[in-house]
Amino acid sequence: MALIREGRLVPDPFTDASGLENLPAGVPLIVSLEQWQTRRSALLASGQRLGLRLKSDQPPRLIAADLGYFSVIALEFPKYRDGRAYTHARMLRERFKFAGEIRAVGDVLQEQLHFMHRCGFDTFDVTGPDPEKAWRTIAGDHTVAYQATGDGQPRALDLRKGTGP
Amino acid sequence: MYRYDEFDHTLVAERVATFRRQVARRLSGDLSEDQFKPLRLMNGLYLQLHAYMLRVNIPYGCLSSRQLRQLAFIARRYDRNFGHFTTRQNIQYNWIKLDETPDVLAALAAVEMNAMQSSGNCVRNITADQFAGRAQDEIEDPRPWCELIRQWSILHPEFSYLPRKFKIAVSGAPQDRAAVKLHDVGLYLRPNGAGVIGFEVIVGGGQGRLPYVGHTIREWLAKEDLLSYLEAILRIYNLGGRRDNPQKARIKVQVNALGAEEFRRLVDEEWEQIRFTPQLTVPRAEIERITAYFADPAWEQLTDASATVARQRSADPAFDVWNRANVVAHRRPGYAIVNLSLKAPGIAPGDLTADQMDKVAELTDRFSLGELRVSHRQNLVFPDVQQVDLQALWQALQGVSLATPNIGTLTDIIACPGLDFCALANARAIPVAQDIGRHFTDVAALQDIGELTINISGCMNACGHHHVGHIGILGVEKNGLEFYQLTLGGSSGEDASLGDRLGRSISAAEVPVAIEAIVTRYKALREGEERFLDTYRRVGLEPFKEAVYGQNPPRRQAVA
């Protein structure tokens, strides 16, 4: 596993404790929604930097009021075909104005990084021998978009000057 | 017709380049078939029984002669000299080699075509009335809106991994020729009480194993709200559609589980949040730009020539029969809409050879201002033929076996590729269609029977739309043998309905006999000009059940 941000492998300061029984102390932690809900006061009292890992059937609106506590929201792709987290990411960025890191975790295919990035993901937990190269390969693939998302890339519809046939 | 600009060209060219790289990685073993599958599906490439099949979009059924020539070139160079037009205004090539696929996509891109999202769990080709812009009953041309939806749906970052495929159809006429109510989202252009044209929005129609006629969730939607409302529907579906069982993953299952009212409430709630965002507003200049591509072509100033045509018809009964079946009134005086039947006796419905394609392209330029259409009933249409040219066109079409006068009759059969090609099929569909075509060859008798649609599917997935055929035929497999289940009373029109099961399934050999029995009973029962469908709706299943199974039940005899 390796974390990619803006095309570069970056160290991951967070420990993903979402599957752990005992939460490590003194390190930045990513916890599950259940862990957050049951250990909220202890986690806040610990002073640790926090991240939250949401499964694909856990929409961000469940946690909208608490988003300010988290530096990272990790959205899970149980299978690459499960596209719910694309909507979750847009909701986080565009509706709930979450400004922290949105991380793609789980079954993350390199071919999907572009769509994920456009929906608001900024880090990607990817596998493969050379993730930086993979990123460079796909980065030049999509210079035109028909849709606007929260990332600010202009649509073809807006770039056209109304010149017809 | 819409033409790509620099943005459209770049987007498609980038997809071709990407896919070329992905194919190379697959061929070198860098990608497994499992990893490659989602990538090829996004580019319309299926792995079928014998070979790869490439499905190419013909957006809302519009095709130029130049594009058709390129389709002929592809059929010759990369396939086995033919292509197959589908029920969703696509063309499929059945014998494509993987290593040549990027070249095929490049050849398509050169004529502003692509195969993007013709498969996979995403928004598929947008379909429309094949007579758009030409029909006399049309309220408004749906094509500019189809193009706008096409662009909005292509490579949508949020909606490219939906629970299941998503099909959208648009009609601008009261008579529904696009099976709008059988789509995931169907749109009718309609005036509201104040006479302002907007969209009636229908959701949750579909066929397959669980057929449903869609529900209207909005009687009237302002045009400027189209994209935001579609985005709201897709978002509710993306989040709430089932992902545990592919058979239950279409939006129709979600809509029917929640109830149309609740589904509408969820959509409206989401829509209110995004309705006025600039991201989903379309600049007026852009709508005008797109609409300008669909302006009326360079029609000549003509007067109605029906009298001339009537004289020609009375002098030539065969020409008369063809006119009655295949020629449709045009909204412009002096012009006619002409259907080219791809259902000649003994031909697989929807198939066209490369030579026929070239000839049709030539005739398109000569007789129809360089443009043609593809219909969801798997036929071709010349939208702009001068009435005075009809006879010459008819004679030319006879030379390429495209003048069969059977549009809308019982040999104008919709059929899926069936077990001859498809990995999913339980039974063959094409030979059954061919048998019916050979059984009913008397054109006068066919016209006497009148409007009667037969739809054949080779399995429950219903690609041949058997649920909505006036007579539906579903191939089933029992103990390794092929049988066929008949349904009666389906319709894909504005009066959409699902057919009722007639009774136990029969063998392939019995199908034409059973159809004959149904037709004979209909002729005995019909009142006046009543269509088969209307007679059926009046008298119900019993008389036809008796006609088919009656005193003399057909023998059980299956083809191995």
For a pLDDT cut of 70, what percent of chain A falls above it? 98
* CATH 3.30.413.10 domain locations along chain B: 135-292, 414-549
The pLDDT of residue B420: 86
Residues B406-423, mean pLDDT to the nearest whole number? 91
SS3 B84: strand
Written as one letter, the residue type at B344 is A
Contacts of A81 in chain B (CB under 8 A): 38, 121, 161, 243
Closest to B274 measured CA to CA, from B227, B316, B212, B241: B227
Q: Where are the beta strands (DSSP E) in B204-344?
A: 215-221, 327-329, 335-340
The pLDDT of residue B558: 46
Task: Report the CATH fold assignment for A2-159.
Answer: TIM Barrel (3.20.20)
Residue B336, beta-bridge partner list: B329, B385
For a pLDDT cut of 70, what percent of chain B falls above it? 98
* CATH 3.90.480.20 domain locations along chain B: 6-110, 306-398
More confident residue, B348 or A77: A77
Residues A9-27, mean pLDDT to the nearest whole number? 93
- pLDDT of residue B310 exceeding 80, the answer is yes
Of B17, B151, B161, the CB nearest to A86: B161
Q: In angstroms, what CA-CA distances link B295 with B140, B339, B370, B537?
A: 12, 22, 15, 41
Q: Which of B158, B226, B288 to mutate against chain A (most A CBs within 10 Å)? A: B158
- pLDDT of residue B64 exceeding 80, the answer is yes
Tokens describing residue A58: 């856990």
**Banded model confidence at residue B255, pLDDT cuts 50, 70, 90:** very high
Closest to B15 measured CA to CA, from B44, B35, B50, B36: B44
**How high is the mean pLDDT of chain B?**
95
* 8 Å CB contact of A84 and B285: no
Q: Is A109 on the interface with B (CB under 8 A)?
A: yes
Of A83, A112, A149, the CB nearest to B279: A149
The pLDDT of residue A110: 84
The pLDDT of residue A163: 67
The model carries a pTM of 0.95
Contacts of A145 in chain B (CB under 8 A): 155, 157
Domain-wise residue ranges, chain A: 2-159
Q: In angstroms, what CA-CA distances link A113 with A151, B339, B394, B459?
A: 14, 46, 54, 37
Residue B279, beta-bridge partner list: none
**Banded model confidence at residue A134, pLDDT cuts 50, 70, 90:** confident
Instruction: Measure the CA–CA gap between B259 and A70, rounded to whole angstroms.
Output: 37
Read off the pLDDT of residues B30-43 as tens digits, 9 standing for 90 and up: 889 988 998 999 89
CATH number of B306-398: 3.90.480.20
Residues B467, B490 contacting (CB under 8 angstroms)? yes
Residues 2-41 of chain A whose Cβ lies under 8 A from any Cβ of chain B: none
CATH 3.40.30.10 fits B6-110, yes or no: no
Tokens describing residue B308: 């001339």
CATH architecture type of domain B135-292: 2-Layer Sandwich (3.30)
**Banded model confidence at residue B550, pLDDT cuts 50, 70, 90:** confident
Residues B229, B267 contacting (CB under 8 angstroms)? yes
Closest to B536 measured CA to CA, from B495, B484, B490, B479: B490
- pLDDT of residue B555 exceeding 80, the answer is no
Contacts of A95 in chain B (CB under 8 A): 273
Residue B491, beta-bridge partner list: B497
- pLDDT of residue B456 exceeding 70, the answer is yes
Q: Is A147 on the interface with B (CB under 8 A)?
A: yes
**Banded model confidence at residue B560, pLDDT cuts 50, 70, 90:** very low
End-to-end, the C-alpha distance of chain B in Å comes to 48
The pLDDT of residue B559: 46
* 8 Å CB contact of A162 and B239: no
Instruction: Measure the CA–CA gap between B383 and B335, rounded to whole angstroms.
Output: 9
Burial of A139 (0-12, 13-18, 19+ CB in 10 A): middle
Q: Which of B26, B161, B238, B281 to mutate against chain A (most A CBs within 10 Å)? A: B161
ipTM field: 0.96
User: Hunting for tokens 């949508």 — which residue is that?
Assistant: B156
Instruction: Measure the CA–CA gap between B390 and B370, rounded to whole angstroms.
Output: 16
Of A80, A86, A137, the CB nearest to B158: A86
SS3 B551: coil
The pLDDT of residue A11: 94
The pLDDT of residue B551: 62
Instruction: Measure the CA–CA gap between B475 and B456, rounded to whole angstroms.
Output: 8
Q: In angstroms, what CA-CA distances link A111 with A52, A107, A108, B448?
A: 25, 12, 9, 57
SS3 B350: coil
* 8 Å CB contact of B160 and A115: yes
Of B3, B243, B273, the CB nearest to A82: B243
Q: Which residues of B529-546 are buried (b: 16+ CB within 10 A; e: fewer)?
A: eebbbbbbeeeebebbbe
Other C-beta atoms lying within 10 Å of the C-beta of residue A64: 14
For a pLDDT cut of 90, what percent of chain B falls above it? 90
CATH 3.30.200.100 fits B414-549, yes or no: no
Read off the pLDDT of residues B311-322 as tens digits, 9 standing for 90 and up: 999 999 999 999
Read off the pLDDT of residues B392-406 as tens digits, 9 standing for 90 and up: 999 999 999 999 999
Tokens describing residue B106: 């490049």
Q: Which of B1, B3, B5, B7 to mutate against chain A (most A CBs within 10 Å)? A: B7
Residues B269-282, mean pLDDT to the nearest whole number? 93
Could you give the angle at which helices B317-326 and B390-398 cross, rounded to 10 degrees? 100
Q: Answer positive or negative: Cα dihedral of A52, A118, B21, B164.
A: positive
Cα within 13 Å of Cα(B20), Cβ side: 13
SS3 B43: coil
SS3 B179: coil
Instruction: Measure the CA–CA gap between B319 and A104, rounded to whole angstroms.
Output: 65
Residues B153-164, mean pLDDT to the nearest whole number? 97
* 8 Å CB contact of B159 and A86: yes
The pLDDT of residue A162: 61
Name the helix (H) or strand (E) containing B488. Answer: strand B481-488
Residues 105-164 of chain B whose Cβ lies under 8 A from any Cβ of chain A: 121, 151-152, 154-163
Tokens describing residue B264: 């509408």
